[in-house]
Amino acid sequence: MFRILLPSLLLIGVLYAATRTPESGNAQPAGRQPVAAARQLPLTPLTPTPRASFRPSNRKGYWNIDVVDDFTLPANKALIFCGAGRNLHVDQDWSKLFRRGFSAIDVSRMVLGQEYANDPNAIPKGWKSRLKQSQRAQWLTQGYFADEPFRLGWAANSELAEETYYRRPQGDPNWRQSLFQASMELCGSCIGYGDCPPGQMKNTNGFVILDIENEGVSMFRQQEQANLYAYMMKTLRENAGPATQIGSIAPVPHNSYGASRASDYRAGLEWLWKKPARHTQTSRQRGMSDDIIGKSYADYADFQMPGTYYVYPDFDYSIDHSADNGRHWLASLLGEQEVNKALSPKRRIAWQWLYNTQSSDFPNSGKASNAAPPAIAEGMSVFYWFTGAYGAIFWDDHNALTPDQPTPTEGARIGLGNDRNYACYEHYLHGLWRMFKHHGDLFNGREKYLNQATECSFDGGQTWQALNANQLKTRKLPYARAIVNGNQILIAATMPYARPDQTTAVRVRYLQDGYSFYTEIKLRGDEIYLGRATMPTP
């Protein structure tokens, strides 16, 4: 989870990207035409979305789940909690997390004996988890496959792909050391929930999320790697219920690693996402079945997981972020979605983490000790949903929290875990509350996400352009994204990294579906603006 890969830095201008079509993930400017007619039309004011009044917590190892009141996520969205500190409130009200925007909980954050029973021999007769299937998630790390009892060294070292058994024959003393067994035995999760179908076992989690991170492999082992990934996904699917959704942190159609470059918008599908299974010289002897031939990982995955963790420079307001390969929190968040939306129709579920990931390649990023600043934490939980994504997994490298602990004397842990300030969680919840408490009715399946086709004017209506995340970044422009549903339009806007005393204006128009809508938004600092209007008909 802590890996940051640095792809080669390609200094490619944004002019080429500006000629590409919005639907392909490469916005074409709407033209720098004068809009005298627009000046004669009244600007429709947006109704700003309320902000909650709360004082962010300054306690270490603690965050307040009650900075906002009750709200729920729309039924067609998913937000999985795999973060820190559920223990702070679960004993008082186990269901509160579901009334603060989350829709599912990873098994590692569940209450044993009430939500998951990890000891099959101690389950009372007739016991059943209080969680519905849609509220359950199972995050599987590399260790599940690499450690006992399966001991698949391939999970930690993909160069062992051609030595890995798909399935071992009956009677083999090492019969459990196969990808089939590791994948098939997850069907036993239904025992832990007390809801196995009559006479059989199936994985009854709502989500199964793989986090193996071994996708890179030598060129001459790529076929073996593609075979293993396809076989693993097929086996997981066959041993799960029909309502279980399965995906992995990798592969994705394209991974920009947070760089949001112009070249990313011209990228094709990455090889492991699309490469079909084919027999190799030894694959049959190691148990590969013929029924996956011609199938790829993507054929079996229910969702893709494009997204990025931030490094400290993404949180640094004192540096420039406008280079083509520059780190930029919002260009990264939107760019990964814009690119991958164009490459695959699969549902998108991103990993989101509110601290910097560890990377010695970036200054101040050696430890996950820097929290996302307030506007970035709030912005993550607002702008992400404007991309049309299906869901997110809210992740942290820490689980249970113990507040107000003394600062560790052992240097390696200073600033981590219980020693962190978790007010960033409160700002994230605030963003969710603003989106879905007040605008959840827009997410009914009939909404249209404009993404980089959102038409904006940065010169008071003289010219209009539709720009992708990279183009906005390199031109140092404010960001605006819109969702339309019938005569309703919802707009999010911000000027990333702006000074507190800085003011910025941006206009947005919508000239489709019989509407002629224009509005202007005035931004203060780097605030996350959210506003809605009923669009007048001509």
Long-range contacts of 409-416 (CB under 8 A, 24+ apart): 414/369, 415/367, 415/369, 416/367, 416/368, 416/369
Domain assignment present for 344: no
Strand order in the sheet with 479-485: 47-48, 529-534, 488-494, 479-485, 448-449
Domain assignment present for 434: no
Residue whose entry in the numeric block shows the structure tokens 């404010």: 478
- What are 199's two structure tokens? 């006479």
Domain assignment present for 171: yes
Q: Give the per-residue pLDDT at 120.
A: 83
Q: Give the per-residue pLDDT at 414.
A: 63
Q: Give the per-residue pLDDT at 537.
A: 83
Q: Give the per-residue pLDDT at 253.
A: 98
List the pLDDT tens digit at each of the 538 positions of the chain.
444 433 333 333 333 333 333 333 344 444 444 444 445 578 999 999 999 999 999 999 999 999 999 999 999 999 999 999 999 999 999 999 999 999 999 999 999 999 999 888 889 999 999 999 999 999 999 999 999 999 999 999 999 999 999 999 989 999 999 999 999 999 999 999 999 999 999 999 999 999 999 999 999 999 999 999 999 999 999 999 999 999 999 999 999 999 999 999 999 999 999 999 999 999 999 999 999 999 999 999 999 999 999 999 999 999 999 999 999 999 999 999 999 999 999 999 999 999 999 988 899 999 999 999 999 999 999 999 999 999 999 999 999 999 999 887 766 666 688 999 999 999 999 999 999 999 999 999 999 999 999 999 999 999 999 999 999 999 999 999 999 999 999 999 999 999 999 999 999 999 999 999 999 999 999 999 999 999 998 7
Domain assignment present for 527: no
Domain assignment present for 126: yes
Nearest 5°: phi and psi at 80?
Answer: -100, 125
State the pTM of this model: 0.92
Q: What secondary structure letter does DSSP report for 112?
A: B
Domain extent, residue 252, equals: 104-305
- Dihedral angle, C-alpha 423, 426, 428, 430, nearest 10 °: -140
Burial of 56 (0-12, 13-18, 19+ CB in 10 A): middle
Q: Is 287 helix (H, G, I), strand (E, B) or coil?
A: coil
Domain count, the chain: 1
Domain assignment present for 242: yes
Domain assignment present for 22: no
**490 touches 529 (CB < 8 A):** no
**Phi-psi category of 415—alpha, beta or left, where left has phi over 0 and alpha has psi -120 to 50?**
left
Residue whose entry in the numeric block shows the structure tokens 């694959």: 283
Q: Is the dihedral of CA 140, 156, 308, 241 positive or negative?
A: negative
Rg (C-alpha) for the chain, rounded Å, is 24
- What are 490's two structure tokens? 């919802």
Q: Is 322 helix (H, G, I), strand (E, B) or coil?
A: coil
H-type helices in 328-418, by residue range?
A: 329-343, 374-383
Q: Give the per-residue pLDDT at 28.
A: 42
